[in-house]
Every structure is written in C-alpha cells, then in structure tokens.
C-alpha cells in the first residue's frame, strides 16, 4: 500500500507539471475565457499577439507560450493586460527567431490574484515568409511554391522533383514522406535571410525533414534548369535519408551524407573534376577521415570537400552498388564509427579505399606530373651524354678524306 501511495503521488505531481506547461486539449476553461486574434508579423522582424481576456479582474499575470515544433525550445512571454481586458505582446523575431514555414503552436496561461492557474486551448498557425506573394502547384508527393516565374516554372519544379525522387530511390532502398513542400527563392541571399540571417553565406539550398520542407534558390537565367536539376535531387536525398532512419542519418559521416546527395543530382557540378585535379596537382586534397565529422568553414575548403565527397561516393557506388550502400547505411544505423562502419560494410579500410579512389582518378595526372618533374634531368642527360656523341659523329663526318698518291 505504501508503494501504491507513493506512485500515486508521483503521478499527481507529474499531471500538475504537465498542466502548467502543456495546455489540455479540448478542455474548457471556466474561470477565464481568452479570445485570441490571428497573430500578425513582419517576417524576420516582429510578431504581435493580441487577445481579449474575460473577465479582466483579479488577474496577477498572463503568459504566452510559443513553440515552433516539438524539438525547439519553448518560448514564454509576459503579456500586457489593458483595462478593458485587451492582452498584447510584441516579440522581436531577431532575438527569438522562428523557422520559416514551420507550424507554430501557442497558448495562454492566466494566474489569478489568489494564485490559481488557468490554461487556454492550444492554437497554431503557419509561419509563412509573407514578404512575397506565393504561387502554388501540387503533384503528389510534392507541392511547389514560388513567387518569380509563370506556371510553367512551377511545372518544371514538379517534374524535376519527380525525376529526382526516382534517382534517389535507384541509389538506395529508401523511404520517402507522403508530402513535401518546396519553396523557391530567386537567389541565395534571399534564401539565407529566410533560413537564418546569421547563417553560412554559401548555402544555396536546404532540407528540413522535420517540417517536410525544401528551400531552394534558383536565379532566373540560362542556367536555371541546370541548377534545378542539381539542387532538387540533392535536397531530396537528405529528406529521404532522414525520413528512412533519423538515427542513421545523424550518425552518417559528413562525406557520405553529402556524397550521396551529390550522387543523386541529375546535373552534377561540372567544375568538380577540374577542382579535384588542381587540388591533386597542388597536393592539397583533403583526407577523407577529416571529413567524417565536419567540412571546412572557408568557401574554398567547402567546395573541395563537396567535390571530393561526390567523387569518392560515386567511386564506391560503381564498385559496390546499392547492396553495398544498404550495408553501409545499416552499419552506421547501428552506431558504428566512420572508419569501422565502412570496413564492416565494404571489407576495406577507409584509407585503402581512398588510395584506390586516387589511383583510379588521378593516375594520368600522376604520370604527367612525374614526367614534368623528371624533365630537367632528362634534358641534362641529353646534354651531358647524348650531346658529346652527336658532336663526335659530326666531327667524324667533317674529317677531310686522305688524298690518294
């Protein structure tokens, strides 16, 4: 009986804590009614919440709880109560940022003058980038959103998405969500302001698997279709990897994660091979084990890391195919390290595979480099040894013939 009472007390305490933080669903509040208005905001700047509190007497405090998703921090803001029961609070979105296109949940908590707490039902809205007038077209499982371009542009986005999804599923035995929203910005700078004003300046696309959203930057121009064929499948692979197994995704080496995404691209970056050959000739290639945990922070290092990851992953795919990649995914899903996982799945160490990749991709360059290095010695050999022989032959030929008596 003592154990039962103890467990009951713990249960009661737990329910009390939950009631303070999470609003009860569908439970009417009798002491106070809160009638909210639709939140208004200037994207990335400020957001205002207003509501009417009935009755407005005997109130000690009113709090607004705000949460963009289950995995983000809970925000709590004190509201101002006017004499007629008007509640309001304005939030600085630069200090308290929200993820663009996320579903934002919010609710109110009233503390009465005698200390009793009342919690409103939970409300929600989608935090859209309302700086633009978005157009929309759907074709399962995708919905494309854009603000620059005509209807044909939206159809192109859908068609490339479907083609990219087929490519993703050719590479890996992988699942995919039933619904994905794709938002297209006109340039990378505008995209970055939507994602994170303080984020990396090199980001041109991003996938958020929790929201089921892909963000793209596709500037108008002759290369727009090629960029579409590169960015969309790349981000689809990230979505699919996370959706299939979030634990495995979190444990993937960065070179493998980004290499897989690059492998899915319908139009690979044409500058990668030249970049790799230049780095090899200059002996500045990055070691694959240094790309297990992270990529460099500088733009030049990032470009080289992406190019190496794409080339090395493509080499592994040609040698081991989808079965090898499925084994590799399973190894990382089990928690194996970067080096242990690849040795377990493919039967070779990361270093040996890296050397084999270099041999296949740079043998011609190595030969040319060797010739270039030994060319001065070859010239010296000609001058020192072959030169005198040539002079002797010439001298012999020019020797005057004896006159016969």
E-only strand ranges, 13-84: 33-36, 40-42, 46-54, 59-67, 75-78, 80-81
Which three-class secondary structure state does DSSP give residue 400?
coil
Contacts of 193 (CB under 8 A, 6+ apart): 44
Distance CA 39, CA 47 (A): 7
Residue 298 and residue 295: Cα distance in Å, rounded? 9
For 249-297, write each residue's pLDDT tens digit: 999 999 999 999 999 999 988 899 999 999 999 999 999 999 999 999 8
**What pLDDT, in 10s, does the model give residues 5-53?**
444 444 444 444 444 445 544 444 447 999 999 999 999 999 999 999 9
Q: Is 334 helix (H, G, I), strand (E, B) or coil?
A: coil
Spell out the alpha helix ranges (H) of 92-206: 151-171, 188-195
Please identify which residue in the block is written with the tokens 């542009």.
153
pLDDT over threshold 80, residue 127 = yes
What residue ranges define each of the domains in the chain, with the CATH number in brackets?
A: 22-126 (2.60.40.10), 132-244 (3.40.30.160), 246-395 (no CATH)
pLDDT digits (tens, 9 = 90+) for 101-120: 999 999 999 999 999 999 99
Pairing of strands 180-185, 142-146: parallel
Listed in sequence order, the residues at least 6 apart from 186 whose beta carbon sits closer than 8 Å to its beta carbon are 147, 148, 217, 218, 219, 220
Q: Which residues contact 31 (CB under 8 A, 6 or more apart)?
A: 110, 112, 116, 118
**What pLDDT score was predicted for residue 386?**
56
Euclidean distance between CA atoms 300 and 319, whole angstroms: 29
In three-state secondary structure terms, 361 is helix
What token pair was written down for 258?
Answer: 């980004």
Read off the pLDDT band of 203 (50, 70, 90).
confident
């Amino acid at each position: 009986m003592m154990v039962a009472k103890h467990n009951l007390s713990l249960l009661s305490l737990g329910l009390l804590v939950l009631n303070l933080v999470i609003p009860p669903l569908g439970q009417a509040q009798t002491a106070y009614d809160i009638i909210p208005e639709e939140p208004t905001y200037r994207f990335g700047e400020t957001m205002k919440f207003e509501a009417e509190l009935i009755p407005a007497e005997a109130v000690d405090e009113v709090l607004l709880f705000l949460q963009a998703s289950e995995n983000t921090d809970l925000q709590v803001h004190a509201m101002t109560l006017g004499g007629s029961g008007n509640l309001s609070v304005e939030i600085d979105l630069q200090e308290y940022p929200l993820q663009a296109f996320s579903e934002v949940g919010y609710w109110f908590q009233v503390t009465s003058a005698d200390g009793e707490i009342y919690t409103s039902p939970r409300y929600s809205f989608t935090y859209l980038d309302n700086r633009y007038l978005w157009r929309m077209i759907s074709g399962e499982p995708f919905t494309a959103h854009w603000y620059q371009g005509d209807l044909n542009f939206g159809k192109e986005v859908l068609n490339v998405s479907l083609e990219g999804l087929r490519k993703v599923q050719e590479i890996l035995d992988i699942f995919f969500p039933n619904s994905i929203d794709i938002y297209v910005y006109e340039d990378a700078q505008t995209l970055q302001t939507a994602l994170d004003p303080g984020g990396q300046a090199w980001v041109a696309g991003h996938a958020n698997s929790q929201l089921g959203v892909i963000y793209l930057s596709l500037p108008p121009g002759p290369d727009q279709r090629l960029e579409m064929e590169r960015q969309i499948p790349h981000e689809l692979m990230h979505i699919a990897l996370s959706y299939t197994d979030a634990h495995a995704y979190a444990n993937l080496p960065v070179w493998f994660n980004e290499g897989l995404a690059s492998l899915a691209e319908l139009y690979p970056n044409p500058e990668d091979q030249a970049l790799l050959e230049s780095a090899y000739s200059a002996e500045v290639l990055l070691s694959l084990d240094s790309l297990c945990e992270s990529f460099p922070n500088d733009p030049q290092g990032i470009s080289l890391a992406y190019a190496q990851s794409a080339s090395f992953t493509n080499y592994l795919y040609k040698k081991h195919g989808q079965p090898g990649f499925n084994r590799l995914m399973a190894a990382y899903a089990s928690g194996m390290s970067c080096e242990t996982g690849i040795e377990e799945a493919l039967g070779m160490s990361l270093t040996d595979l890296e050397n084999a990749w270099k041999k296949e991709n740079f043998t011609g360059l190595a030969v040319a480099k060797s010739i270039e290095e030994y060319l001065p010695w070859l010239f010296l050999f000609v001058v020192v040894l072959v030169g005198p022989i040539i002079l002797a032959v010439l001298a012999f030929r020019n020797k005057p013939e004896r006159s016969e008596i």
